[in-house]
Amino acid sequence: MSFEDRELPFDFDLLRDLTEFHGPPGYEDRVRGLVTEALEEHTDEVGTDAMGNVIGTVEGESDYAVVLAAHVDEIGFMVRHVTDEGFLQLDALGGWDPRVLRAQRVAVHTEQGELTGVIGSVPPHTQDDEEESSSQEVHDVHVDMGRDGETVSELVRVGDLVTMRQTTEVVGNHVTGKALDDRVCVFAMLEAARRLEDPPVTVHFAATTQEEVGLRGAEALGGDVEPDLAIALDVTVANDVPGFEDGDQVTRLGEGTAIKLKDGSVITNPKVNRRLREVAEEHGIEHQLEVLPSGGTDTAKLQRAGGATAAGAVSIPTRYLHTVTESAHVEDIAATTDLLVSFLQSEDGNTDYTP
């Protein structure tokens, strides 16, 4: 039986809102508002910094501080030019594979409100072999607004934002939609804040900004908060799909939360990894180990910003990253929250994480 036919083990309405809201790098306002509202209910104090990071703090019995961080921004675009014919030319905010953009609906965010546009695809009937095999770049992508050039130039300005349109759905045992990267981890963080009771140490729940354009929010956050221990939350590659051999698979859906050992930007603290694994085993939480050959997360900046910090990372395996059909397993999402709560509830600040 799939989760389409039975109750989910968490608040799907909140997850759906988080993932369907629009918030590209530097313009995460609407998502930030939702996160702030949730943190105000379950933390002692909530604040926002000049980068737009939101930090909800639960005061513990000691001054030893742990920061739990997940980023709220999603990949998107900024309008760089409006053509005389009324098409929008875009500049990418984050890493896009242009192939996944063909034949998509988008939301164009203007001063007049949100408009719908279409990224078209040239019919194969009109392409020759050279055009069909040529590589497309984001600069080649145009948004069709369905209006004449004069009207579009009155509605849309250079600097307006563009994000993808998609709903979040339960498909079998998976949740699929846009912006699971990284809102599904923001959701797990908020669930952990809701469930955490009287922690021995002070915990900062941080929703960071501008991760998709260089981990910028986390870098600023690390210098301001100066935690003793940092745990970053992000999605990771689940390439358990046709075309990949077992040895090439980073993680697999349905096999639990992922404890990161390394990615292209960081080698996580071995003692933090070990304790995360011990907590998972003690509480019977399904987990797997993540070795990601390339790519990076907030972990790298949290580990080094403001000085050396013991840093670990927990990831939610996700298929089809940086597309509008990102997919994560319901049980992996639940296991991630379970691990975070168990880890924070047992962290007393006395563990020596020095290598």
d(CA 162, CA 104) in angstroms, rounded, equals 12
Q: Which of 28, 74, 191, 211 is catalytic?
A: 211
d(CA 151, CA 119) in angstroms, rounded, equals 18
Q: Which of 228, 225, 241 is nearest to 317 (CA)?
A: 241
Helices marked H in the chain: 12-20, 29-42, 129-133, 149-155, 180-195, 216-225, 270-282, 299-304, 330-346
d(CA 64, CA 229) in angstroms, rounded, equals 8
DSSP 3: T
DSSP 335: H
Cα separation values, 126 from 101, 121, 223, 245, Å: 19, 11, 55, 37
For the beta carbon of residue 144, count every other beta carbon within 10 angstroms.
Answer: 15
Tell me if residue 211 is catalytic. Answer: yes
For the beta carbon of residue 81, count every other beta carbon within 10 angstroms.
Answer: 11
Q: Tell me the β-bridge partners of 110.
A: 113
Q: Roughly how many angstroms between the first and final C-alpha of the chain, as a whole number?
A: 45
Q: For residue 179, give every residue at least 6 positions away whose Cβ sits within 8 Å of its Cβ, in sequence order, or none.
A: 18, 19, 20, 21, 23, 74, 326
Q: Within a 13 Å sphere around the CA of 1, how many CA atoms are in the beta-carbon half?
A: 5
Do residues 227 and 218 make contact, with C-beta atoms less than 8 angstroms apart?
no
3-class DSSP state of 36: helix
DSSP-derived pairing of the beta strands 310-318 and 169-171:
unpaired
What positions carry a catalytic annotation?
211
